[in-house]
């Protein structure tokens, strides 16, 4: 670590980071916004300098903005204490953000409102989003850091197409995240061609407003989540696709899925069946994930876990209560890797992915780190 005339010079493997980038969190009072607040605490590369939310919160200090004026209850939903850096910061209206003083915006806005908000912001500054508003646009990549980093080159085409100074880079749906992460090596090395997946999704994935009714989910499984299955199918093919001639060519893989809601607070579990073009056995698959851990492009970044993949021999793993804190929620856990007799070549396995960490705000911060390393921010 060396100081220079501009600030702090940090050496990480083969790249350098100079100064902290100024970032804003939009939608800062909601549950995803609060995950951003926590994920950016003491971050070595990014400094939160502006925050924004709805008219109801604008003009208030952060702690007052999330406090109910009648009951005095503070709606802090992410565990631990509210970070000191944010407590006294005044929440702005979104149109009050001074984009000339920002290098990046993290958007935690609901998808209905996100389209208009992110369009206006991206005209002047890069935006990393957890919403679906831009995911399915032809010039917009759906990025999972460490999985399809090369598709980030599409951001330059997006800027040119739209005459923007910035861009919009959305994360995938949180259910897609774990599936795409585990399929990447199987698709790349063994030609995964058909996938059947059943998800057991945490109630936190439904948000708090309107959220999932306690009466509906207690002692129950809800066998349908609106629009979820279509998102998983489309997003998985796009993420595993290739950038060619300025466009993403979808992966040649068929995805069938059933998405369900279960009475688990945090973390999605998925049962996956994969048919591959080439033969693969469970021992080889486990070695493959170990090899990919060594090759993963985001290794060493501040928000990256020590192990991107964790593979278990214990047939009772993965379990949400056990896995959700592994790698601070950034590790994708795989278990029950077995030969699948339905296919000539194929496997079945279970996976766990944290919907509020890797699948949301902290995954977005890791994405920002990857894009910063590439010189996109």
Q: Is residue 7 domain-shared with residue 25, that is, in the same domain?
A: yes
Q: Is residue 138 domain-shared with residue 97, that is, in the same domain?
A: yes
Q: Is residue 264 domain-shared with residue 130, that is, in the same domain?
A: no
How many whole angstroms from its chain centre is CA 79?
19
The share of the chain scoring above pLDDT 90, in percent, equals: 90
Tokens 């851990």 sit on residue: 293
What CATH number has the domain bearing residue 93? 3.40.50.720
For residue 169, which of 230, 126, 233, 232 has the smallest C-alpha distance? Answer: 126
Q: What pLDDT does 2 receive?
A: 33
Q: Is residue 126 domain-shared with residue 230, that is, in the same domain?
A: no
Choosing from 43, 257, 259, 268, which is the catalytic residue? Answer: 268
pLDDT mean across residues, the chain: 94
Q: Is residue 167 domain-shared with residue 207, that is, in the same domain?
A: no
Q: Is residue 328 domain-shared with residue 245, that is, in the same domain?
A: yes
Q: Could you give phi then psi for residue 40, rounded to 5 degrees? A: -100, 0
SS3 of 17, please?
strand
User: pLDDT tens digits, residue range 265-278?
Assistant: 999 999 999 999 99
The answer to whether 345 and 278 have CB atoms below 8 angstroms apart is yes
State the greatest distance between any 2 C-alpha atoms of the chain, in Å, as a whole number.
Answer: 63
What pLDDT band is residue 209 in, cutting at 50, 70 and 90?
Answer: low
Number of folded domains that form the chain: 2
Residue 268 annotated in active site: yes
Distance CA 49, CA 350 (A): 41
The answer to whether 45 and 39 have CB atoms below 8 angstroms apart is no
1 pLDDT exceeds 50?
A: no
Q: Could you give phi then psi for residue 248, rounded to 5 degrees? A: -90, 125
Choosing from 174, 259, 312, 354, which is the catalytic residue? Answer: 174
Distance CA 25, CA 91 (A): 10
Q: Is residue 296 domain-shared with residue 339, that is, in the same domain?
A: yes
Cβ count within 10 A of residue 153 = 13
Range of the domain at 306: 174-353
For residues 308-330, give the mean pLDDT. 97
SS3 of 333, please?
strand
* Cα angle for residues 222, 224, 229 (degrees, 5° grid): 140
What CATH number has the domain bearing residue 322? 3.30.360.10
The answer to whether 26 and 129 have CB atoms below 8 angstroms apart is no
Q: Is residue 149 domain-shared with residue 125, that is, in the same domain?
A: yes
Q: Could you give phi then psi for residue 361, rounded to 5 degrees? A: -60, -50
How many whole angstroms from its chain centre is CA 269?
16
Tokens 């973390």 sit on residue: 267
Q: Is residue 179 domain-shared with residue 166, that is, in the same domain?
A: no
Q: What pLDDT does 79 receive?
A: 83
Distance CA 48, CA 206 (A): 27
Q: Is residue 144 domain-shared with residue 287, that is, in the same domain?
A: no
The answer to whether 166 and 159 have CB atoms below 8 angstroms apart is yes
Q: What pLDDT does 16 receive?
A: 52
Q: Is residue 285 domain-shared with residue 207, that is, in the same domain?
A: yes
Q: Is residue 240 domain-shared with residue 322, that is, in the same domain?
A: yes
Q: What pLDDT does 5 receive?
A: 36
- CB burial of residue 201 (10 Å; 0-12, 13-18, 19+): buried
The answer to whether 179 and 186 have CB atoms below 8 angstroms apart is no
User: pLDDT tens digits, residue range 246-300?
Assistant: 999 999 999 999 999 999 999 999 999 999 999 999 999 999 999 999 999 999 9
What pLDDT band is residue 323 in, cutting at 50, 70 and 90?
Answer: very high
DSSP 149: G
Distance CA 172, CA 235 (A): 7
């Amino acid at each position: 670590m060396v100081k220079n005339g501009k600030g702090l010079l940090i050496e990480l493997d083969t790249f350098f980071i100079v100064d902290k980038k100024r970032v804003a969190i939009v939608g800062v009072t909601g549950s995803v916004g609060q995950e951003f607040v926590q994920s950016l605490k003491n971050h070595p590369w990014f400094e939160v300098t502006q925050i924004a939310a709805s008219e109801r919160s604008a003009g208030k200090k952060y702690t007052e903005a999330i406090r109910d004026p009648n009951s005095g209850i503070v709606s802090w939903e992410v565990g631990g204490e509210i970070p000191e850096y944010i407590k006294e910061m005044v929440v702005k209206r979104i149109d009050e953000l001074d984009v000339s003083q920002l290098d990046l915006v993290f958007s935690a806005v609901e998808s209905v409102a996100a389209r208009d908000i992110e369009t206006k912001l991206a005209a002047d500054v890069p935006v990393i989003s957890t919403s679906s508003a831009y995911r399915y646009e032809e010039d917009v990549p759906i990025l999972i850091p460490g999985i399809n980093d090369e598709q980030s080159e599409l951001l330059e085409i997006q800027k040119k197409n739209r005459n923007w100074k910035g861009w919009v880079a959305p994360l995938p749906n949180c259910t897609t995240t774990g599936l795409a992460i585990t399929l990447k090596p199987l698709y790349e090395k063994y030609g995964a061609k058909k996938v059947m997946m059943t998800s057991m999704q945490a109630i936190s994935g439904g948000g708090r407003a309107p959220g999932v009714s306690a009466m509906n989910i207690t002692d129950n499984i809800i066998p349908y989540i609106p629009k979820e299955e279509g998102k998983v199918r489309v997003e998985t093919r796009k993420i595993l696709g290739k950038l060619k001639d300025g466009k993403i060519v979808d992966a040649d893989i068929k995805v069938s899925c059933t998405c369900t809601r279960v009475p688990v607070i945090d973390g999605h579990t998925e049962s996956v069946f994969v048919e591959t073009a080439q033969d693969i056995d469970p021992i080889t698959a486990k070695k493959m994930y170990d090899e990919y851990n060594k090759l993963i492009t985001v290794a060493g970044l501040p928000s990256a876990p020590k192990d991107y993949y964790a593979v278990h021999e214990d047939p009772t793993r993965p379990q949400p209560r056990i896995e959700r804190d592994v790698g601070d929620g950034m590790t994708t856990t795989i278990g029950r890797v077995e030969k699948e007799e339905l296919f000539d070549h194929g496997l079945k396995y279970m996976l766990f992915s944290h919907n509020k960490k890797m699948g949301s705000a902290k995954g977005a911060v890791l994405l920002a780190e990857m894009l910063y390393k590439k010189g996109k921010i």
